[in-house]
Amino acid sequence: MSALTAFPEETLQKEAVGSPCAGFSSGDRKRFVIVGTGARVVNFLDPILKDFAESSTVVGLCDASPTRMRFHLDRIVREYGAAAIPAYAAEDFEKMIREQRPDTVIVCTPDTSHHEYIIRALDMGRDVISEKPITTDSVKCRAIFDAVKRSGKTVRTTFNCRWMPGPARVRELVDSGVIGTVRHVQFEEMLNTSHGADYFRRWHSEKSASGGLQIHKSTHHFDLINWWVNDIPARVFAFGELAFYGKANAVRRGEGDRTGYERYTGAAVAPNDPFQLDLDADPRLKALYKDAEAESGYIRDRNVFRDGIDIEDSLSVLIKYRSSAIASYTLNAFCPIEGCRVALTGDGGRIEYTETKYPDVRDKDGRKEIEHGGVRMDIRVIPLFSRGYDVPVLTGQGSHGGSDMLLQEQLFAANPPVDPLGRNAGHEQGAASLLIGVAVNHSLDSGQPVEIDSLLPLNPDAQKFDDLI
C-alpha cells in the first residue's frame, strides 16, 4: 500500500463526524481498527457491525485510497444504519492508533505489506489479526517473530478453511484414531477458469506482491495438512510452471487474438473472450477499484494473457514432516471444474474427503457466464480390513459452509466458545503454512529440496503442530 499524499484533514473530520469514536460509546467493547479496505474487509467490518456490535466496535479505517474507504463508509450507513467511522490515510496509520487506542489492529492489505503493519502495530502495544498469509517471505516472517517477542503482544492468522464443516469433521475423525496415525496425505486442489483466472488479473500475478499461489492460495491447504496430521513441516521439494496463462501460452495455443489488450474494461476485447472482466458492469468492483485507480495505481482487470505474469499456475509439491508423515500436493489454476480431492492414509485405514464446487452457468448478453455456486462436501472412511462407510457433513449457514461466522465469533464475541479442535492460529502456526510456500519458491529456483529450518526455525521443542502458538 503506497502512501497517500492528498487526504485533506477537513475531509477526515467530516467523515469521522467530529469525534475519535463518532456516534457511539465503546464502553467495554473490544476496539478494532482496520488497515486495508478492499473487498476482503467485509469479512471483518460487516460482522462486527451486524452480529457483534454489543461486544466489539470498529474505531478506525486506514487505506491508501479515500475512495475505497468512502465506499465502505457510505455502505455501512446505508446497510446497517451505522455511525461514520474515522478514516485515515496510509501514512497516518500510527496516528490512527494513537488517537483511537484500539485493542487490536486488523491487517487486510496486499500480502507483501502485511509485515509492515503487523510490526508497527505490535511495537505500539497492540494485538494483531492478520489475513492469511501472515506475510510473503521468511525475512519478513522473522521480523514479525522478533516483534512478537519484544512486544509481548499477539498475532492471530485467519484460516477460515479450518472452520469449514468438512475439514473440521476430518480433524475429528483423525483425532478419534479411526485410521490410526496418519502417514501419507494426497491433496489435489483444482481452481477453475473463473476463480483461478481471477488471480491472474490482480496483483497476485506478480510474485513480488504475492509470493505466488503457493503462498497466497495454497497457504489454506498447507495449513489444513499441517493441522490434520498435527505435525510440523520439515522439508519441501517442488515443481511448477506457468503453463496456461500469460501471452506466450495463449499464442502457442493459437489464441493470440486474446492478447491484444492490457486490460479488459474499455478495451476492444476479442469476441466472446470468456476471460474478460468489465469493471463498469459491476457497481461494487467499479466503486472499489476502477474509481480508485488514480489514487492507488491498482488495475483490477488486467488481461490474463498479457506479458509480465511471473507466478505459476501449475504446482506439484512434496512435504516431509518431522515425524514419518509425508504429503503430496498439487494445484492447477485452469481446470474446467473446481474443488479438491484429499486422501489421508494412516496405519489403520484411510479417509477420503472431497469438495465439489458447482458453478452457476448463466446466459448474459448472448454468452455463457460461469459464477460460483454451491459446495458439496463428502467424507468416506475406509478402515483396514473393513467395509468403508460415508460420514455425513452438516453444512452451516453463511459463506464457506458457515465457517466464516464461526471464525468471526472467535474474533469478536465477548465470550467465544471453547474450541476443542484448536482452530485458532497464532503467528507460529501461521508461519508453518507460509514457510512451506516459501520453501516451494526456493525449491523452484534451486531444483533442490529445502529444509524449513534453513528459512526460519519453528519451535524445536514442539512435538506436534498443536504445540505451536
274-294 pLDDT per residue, tens: 999 999 999 999 999 999 999
Q: What span, in angstroms and rounded, lies between the C-alpha atoms of 197 and 46?
A: 27
pLDDT of residue 397: 67
Grid cell digits, residue 344: 489421508
CA 34 to chain centre: 16
Grid cell digits, residue 18: 467530529
pLDDT of residue 365: 47
pLDDT of residue 357: 86
Q: What is the 3-state secondary structure (H, E, C) of the chain?
A: CCCCCCCCHHHHHHHCCCCCCCCCCCCCCEEEEEECCCHHHHHHHHHHHHCCCCCEEEEEEEECCHHHHHHHHHHHHHHHCCCCCCEEEHHHHHHHHHHHCCCEEEECCCHHHHHHHHHHHHHCCCEEEEECCCCCCHHHHHHHHHHHHHHCCCEEEECHHHHCHHHHHHHHHHHHCCCCCEEEEEEEEEEECCHHHHCCCCHHHCHHHHCCHHHHCHHHHHHHHHHHHCCCEEEEEEEEECCCCCHHHHHHCCCHHHCCCCECCCCCCCCCCCCCCCHHHCHHHHHHCHHHHHHHCCCCCECCCCCCCCCCCEEEEEEEECCCCEEEEEEEEEECCEEEEEEEEECCEEEEEEEEECCEEEEECCEEEEECCCEEEEEEEEECCCCCEEECCCCCCCHHHHHHHHHHHHHHCCCCCCCCCCCCECHHHHHHHHHHHHHHHHHHHHCCCEEHHHHCCCCCCCCCHHHCC
pLDDT of residue 255: 96
Regarding beta strands 349-357 and 338-346, do their DSSP bridges make them parallel or antiparallel, or are they unpaired?
antiparallel
Q: What span, in angstroms and rounded, lies between the C-alpha atoms of 36 and 149?
A: 25
- The parts of the chain modelled with pLDDT lower than 70 are 1-27, 358-373, 396-401
* Domains, the chain, ordered by start: 9-158 (3.40.50.720), 161-245+309-397+424-467 (3.30.360.10), 247-296 (no CATH)
Model pTM score: 0.92
Residue type, 112: T
- What residues have CB less than 8 Å from 414, skipping those under 6 apart? 30, 54, 55
Cα–Cα nearest to 200, from 308, 112, 280: 308
Grid cell digits, residue 156: 492471530
> How many CA atoms lie within 13 Å of 397's alpha carbon, on the beta-carbon side?
0
Q: What span, in angstroms and rounded, lies between the C-alpha atoms of 63 and 76?
A: 17
